[in-house]
Structure 1
Amino acid sequence: MRNYLKFSLLFVFLGLGASLVFLQSCAQMASPPGGKKDTLAPVVVTSIPINKSKNFKGKKIELNFNEYVAVKSLNQELLITPSIGNYETRIRPTGLTLVLDSALKDNTTYTFNFRNAIEDVAERNKGKNIKLVFSTANTIDSLRIDGRVKLLQTNKKADNITVGLYPYTDSLSIAKAKPYYFVRTDTSGTYALENLAPGKYYMAAFEDVNNNLLYNSAKESVDFITEAFIDLRKNETRDFTIALQNQDSLKLSKTTSTAKTILYEFNRGIKAADLGFSSSEKPLYQVENDRNLRIYVGALNKADTLRIEAALEDSIGRKYKFKLKGKFRELAKKEKSTYAPLSFDIFPKLGAQIVPTDSVLIIFPKPVLQWVSKKVHILTENEDDLTFPDEAFSWNKFQTVLTIKSAFLPKAPSFTLALDKIAFVGPEADSTNEYKQLIKRVDPEETGSIEGGIRKPGQYIYQLLKGEKLEKAYEQKSNGTCSFQNVEPGIYTLRAIVDTNKNGQWDIGNYRTKSKAEPIYYFESKIKLKANFQLTDLWINTP
């Protein structure tokens, strides 16, 4: 009996001891309740190799930290230059190990930049500047190229943009070759390529949407050096302004037929279209969303196959000829033909005001088949009912935008645009409803003016932009400075497009020929315009 009691007491003490050890080990994994919050990032205490080591020939890279860590998105966050090929990752509570599949190159300086991959377990504090640099030679390369990257069309800082450095060859293509050194911009749009070896390099910055380190011209904005190469012998600064430069040829990607329309979808933008039809009846058509062709059935026989000779001009001015064919689909027995009124938008928008040079626009989503000009009229404050002469109107090519010219509008402070019922008929036997909209003129005393631009002579397209989305509010073309009159009060961004080829529009570049996009320059700060103010000498700095 006494031995049994001894054994029982021993078992209890052992159980209590084990519980205390377990509780103590658990307590070490988290901060004590009510204690000071851990705000310190993980710190590397040892590494293989040691940072800035020379003559390293191993195949194992190891980091050890001063606390428990988690490793997040290592494949995206870890940047290794030059590339080492494949490796195996082994993660431990306080560190990680990379086991390389192949030997390191001789006489090479390597950089392992872990960026935001490491954070502590307790408070998710991210490791700062966790970078391992070492060399397989007697020296460590120390040259550097830094700079910043912006978006050309918005002047905003470009985050997470790949900046690549390529060994120079005559036949180099950034669409086919990966950079030897690369880095990605931070949230401020800045980058730094460090520990570079002397030599001749080509250089480019691009979005790298799919993270394959290859430039895709159809989807990724880009900028590049125009000289053949950089002969890197000392530290340099290089800035980039990236923009989409899609050079893909225009191709038909999809055809969709309904009982009322045939839609031809293309892979890139269409600037102009002229269509010839096989039928004696010429159906209405339009360029839709700046990249697709829509054909309307109208009075055509749906049973006939429609054959089209299409002369198209893409968004960068290249001309193509397409032979298209299509057939309108018959309505299924269970399908019902639905009717909806022909919709439209008015410029100015409801509540907006116009200046003396503004026309009034009626904008339709589809071509107008027929209309009655006398059903478009003006009601004045004096209860006059005014119609327009034919010369007051003009249509765009596709009969989708009707302009009522400014010279024919009443000079009164306000008037009402009135549309009678069935003023416009669409291609699907749809028509407009009755509509009225009050239109007010801006009082000149309530506007201001903005003058300035670029001092040196040249062909420029000046624009005043509003809001964070930089929506175009005013535009003028000039071979010198700009002068915007009757501008509504507000906060604006002033930018100047250098119209190098004098075609009246901004043109993209071509990375294949090392031709840059037409430059865009911005006034250095936002412009706050108040009523009856004249802002002058707003000069835009250029290189």
Structure 2
Amino acid sequence: MTFNAKRNLILQNLLLIIAIFVAFGCANIQRPLGGPRDKTPPKLLKATPANSTRNFNAKIIQLDFDEYFKLNSIYQEITISPDVAKAPEYSVRQKSLIIKLKDTLEKNTTYVINFGKAIADVNEGNVLKNFTYVFSTGSHIDSLTVSGVVVNPLSQTKEKDVTVMLIPLKLDSVYYRKKKPAIYATTDTAGNFKMSNLHTGDYKIYALKETNNNKIYDADDELIGFTKNIIHLNRDTANIRLQIFKQMPDKLRPLERRIDADGKLFFTFNKGIPNPGVKIQDPDLDAQKIVEFGRNADTATIYLKTMKFDSIKVSFLNNGKPLDTITLRRSQRDTYKRKISLEYNTPNDKLKPGADLMVKANYPIASIDKGRITLTEDSVEVNETDFNLIPNETDSKKFIIKYKWRPNKTYSLAFNEGTFADIYGDKNSRLPKKFELDKPENYSKLILNVTVPDTGHYVVQLLNTSDVEIRSDVITKSEKLVYNNYYTTKYHIKVIYDTNHNGKWDTGSVKLKTQPENIWLSKKEVSLRANWDITEDVVIPKETKSP
């Protein structure tokens, strides 16, 4: 074979290989991955027997869906009403749900199988909420409905994914604590609910927002709501408004107890103590204790000068009466490390004009050596006699420094080594702090002309954009509230209808049949501007009582 012939053969083979690759490449072209996420739950295509069948006598029900699905929490989510002695059997076959009825059904009775949130597609987990299959063993199907909305009174928002339960009055009044309901619905994204195919009768209605999803009220942190009025169901009932709230537990219970790495004792409770007190069973330890309760009196921190004990018994009191006694144990080999640190009322290193410098230590302070404090104004040291250090009479962790702070000056404050000695005898390392006086134009004045609807007690609260309370005032008549020297930012107004006249919001109680105190949130946002006094009219609407 000549050289040219060999070259032509090689080229022909190369072209053949390229053609094969191209052919196979084209044959395996695939659709690009990705695309819009499936947000649609399974859809019922066919039911056998059909949904809403009368004179029902089947033993097996088949529900065919448009896609593959899975069943979640069968025995928690799926209920049949009226209840049956033997629960049906549920199984998935391809895209079909097979229901085998195990019990004899009552004559002339409407049955509702509620699937709750049990049915979800396989890939994305989209849930088919509040799907029901209805049938009647007689010629009539119950058709009454109950509908309404669920609201959180604190935020005034409508709550989604809340279980609304309709309980026949003849059942135990604490049914919701013992057994999941047979008649229920889950609120949609707008907080609305609807229960259909209901039988005439008398009912109580509850709303439950939980984390364990067992449809039983069994945890202190769950939210519950109810109506005091009985629902006499003989026609469609609409516009029911349920407020969900966290109840105050009946009994004080410790949630957490510990001795921290720095030696302080810390306790957390399931509720606040109205008039709290502490007594340590050892008289010597009791005499030296320093107790600090949290704002809601549901936490307690105890500082002891000495930790020379194997165990300690701490009794918590309300109005001087014992509520609970808690024992903590430690090893004599345990050691504790502490380092004194300070907090200041200088957000962003700016002190509010006209304010004193407030300082808070992380441990109770036994002594302060003022001579070890240095203060400079624009690098010029301030004479010790020109500023005062004033301890807080009721809190040994707090003190203030008074000085004629001036604008456009930079201040350097140093608590040099050994300025503080805490109750344990520890002394501080050097603690420097730099700050300046904030500009007056960053603050403004707000005047609220508050009009009340009638005689009563109202708590007017000024909140920041994070819903943190800035100030609270109790009023009993229409009056003017003046807020001097407030930071120029946005605020909004919250009003509590203070039914029991205690100056704060109180939750409800199912046991006592009391609703939470009502709240009104002004829709208008208040914006304070530099060098500008703002006057706003606040007209409190008449209170609407819950049913």
Q: Into which bin does the TM-score normalised by the smaller protein fall?
A: 0.7 to 0.9
Query: 2:198 matched to which residue of 1?
Result: 196
Q: Distance in 2 between matches of 1:374 and 1:502?
A: 49
- 1:220: how far off? 0.7
Query: 1:160 matched to which residue of 2?
Result: 161
- Residue type of the alignment partner of 1:275: K
Contact 1:283 1:295 in 2 (8 A): no
Q: Against the structure 1 CA distance between its residues 155 and 142, is the aligned structure 2 distance closer, same or farther, given a 3 Å change threshold?
A: same
- 1:512: how far off? 0.8
Q: Distance in 1 between matches of 2:508 and 2:537?
A: 31
Query: 1:283 matched to which residue of 2?
Result: 288
Q: Pairwise mapping of residues 435-474 of structure 1 onto structure 2 (< 5 A)? A: 435-441=432-438, 443=440, 446-449=443-446, 451=448, 455-456=452-453, 457-467=455-465, 469-474=466-471
Q: Against the structure 1 CA distance between its residues 78 and 464, is the aligned structure 2 distance closer, same or farther, given a 3 Å change threshold?
A: farther
Q: 2:277 aligns with which of 253, 273, 277?
A: 273
Render the CA deviation track for 1:355-381: whole Å, top value 9, x for unaligned.
65x665433443333334676787556
- Residue type of the alignment partner of 2:347: K
Q: Distance in 1 between matches of 2:413 and 2:339?
A: 17
State the percentage of identical aligned residues: 23
The SS at the match of 1:436 is: strand
Render the CA deviation track for 1:120-142: whole Å, top value 9, x for unaligned.
67898766875423333432222
Q: Against the structure 1 CA distance between its residues 160 and 259, is the aligned structure 2 distance closer, same or farther, given a 3 Å change threshold?
A: closer
Show structure 1 runs of 5+ residues with no match. 1-31
Asked if 1:135 corresponds to 2:136, the answer is yes
Q: Distance in 1 between matches of 2:198 and 2:451?
A: 38
May I ask how many residue pairs the two structures share in their alignment? 494
Q: Distance in 2 between matches of 1:452 and 1:101?
A: 68
More deviation, 358-367/208-217:
358-367
Contact 1:59 1:103 in 2 (8 A): no
Render the CA deviation track for 1:50-92: whole Å, top value 9, x for unaligned.
2222232434332123x34223526366565555563322212
Q: Distance in 1 between matches of 2:404 and 2:108?
A: 80
Query: 2:431 matched to which residue of 1?
Result: 434
The SS at the match of 1:239 is: strand
Query: 1:148 matched to which residue of 2?
Result: 149
Q: Pairwise mapping of residues 470-481 of structure 1 onto structure 2 (< 5 A)? A: 470-480=467-477
- 1:240: how far off? 2.0
Q: Against the structure 1 CA distance between its residues 245 and 367, is the aligned structure 2 distance closer, same or farther, given a 3 Å change threshold?
A: farther
- Residue type of the alignment partner of 2:282: S
Q: Distance in 2 between matches of 1:414 and 1:502?
A: 46
Q: Pairwise mapping of residues 71-90 of structure 1 onto structure 2 (< 5 A)? A: 71-73=70-72, 75=74, 78=78, 80-84=80-84, 86-90=87-91
Q: 1:263 aligns with which of 265, 272, 278?
A: 265
The SS at the match of 2:288 is: coil
Q: Against the structure 1 CA distance between its residues 145 and 440, is the aligned structure 2 distance closer, same or farther, given a 3 Å change threshold?
A: farther
Q: Against the structure 1 CA distance between its residues 199 and 442, is the aligned structure 2 distance closer, same or farther, given a 3 Å change threshold?
A: farther
Query: 1:223 matched to which residue of 2?
Result: 225
The SS at the match of 2:244 is: strand
The SS at the match of 1:175 is: helix
Show structure 2 runs of 5+ residues with no match. 1-29
Q: Give the TM-score normalised by the residue count of structure 1.
A: 0.76
More deviation, 42-51/76-85:
76-85
More deviation, 481-490/231-240:
481-490
Q: Distance in 1 between matches of 2:127 and 2:261?
A: 58
Q: Give the TM-score normalised by the residue count of structure 2.
A: 0.76
Q: Pairwise mapping of residues 214-363 of structure 1 onto structure 2 (< 5 A)? A: 214-216=216-218, 218-227=220-229, 229-234=230-235, 235-252=237-254, 256-257=258-259, 261=263, 263=265, 265-271=267-273, 272-275=276-279, 278-280=282-284, 282-287=287-292, 290-299=297-306, 302-303=308-309, 306=312, 310-313=315-318, 320-323=322-325, 328-331=330-333, 337=335, 339-351=337-349, 354=352, 360-363=357-360
